[in-house]
Structure 1
């Protein structure tokens, strides 16, 4: 939840609730309600003010734990894939040239799937 994220980041930055509230120009009680998830739907304007003081992107405050876990997992898969490409000699300047090959393989797999489905329906 957004309140938990704000609290976590605020603590990492070493700010008190009062300091963040004053710097963001919002009331301490309102900020406290957000952090304790009593107000689970603060306006984007308030979120932006808090993000500026915490020196983070607004998206950082909006992330959920599930999103982070999924995102980190996907990111590590892509990093591994990119590392494999680099190790095989693929230069980043030439990666767009491989797009055609990837599209062909995708098309070929789709065609194989269509043929096997077509053949299965005739039997």
Structure 2
């Protein structure tokens, strides 16, 4: 879960919840909800803010990276993907929105192959 990854990285860095919230410019209470998995759908904007002080990436936080021990997967993304992700974050796209879009694409591909 996203919250578990954030908490683990925060503790590895030696940050308290208050310190990380201040460094990232996010609400301490919301960060706490995320870490305790009471809130499971943070926006990409929130994840972007949290990733920076934790020296990690959004894909790592989401658990979508193939190399769990190396959180700096964004070095492998080409510029077009980086621009696309940054634009989605700025526009407030949530993880749920992204997952729904993926499902839609899968459905359209399935439909076109029928």
TM-score by length of 2: 0.55
Q: Within the alignment, does 1:6 sit opposite 2:33 as a pair?
A: no
What residue is the counterpart of 1:43 in the other structure?
Answer: 43
Counterpart of 2:57 in structure 1 is 57
Report how many residues are paired. 68
Question: Once superposed, what is the RMSD of the aligned Cα atoms?
Answer: 1.7
* Superposed CA offset, 1:11-52 (max 9, x none): 011111000000111111010000001110010000010001
Indicate the SS of the match to 2:40: coil
Gaps of 5+ in 1: 73-123
Give the SS at the match of 1:33: helix
Paired with 1:59 and 1:8, the residues of 2 have a C-alpha distance of 15
TM-score (norm 1): 0.51
Distance 2:23 2:51 in 1: 11
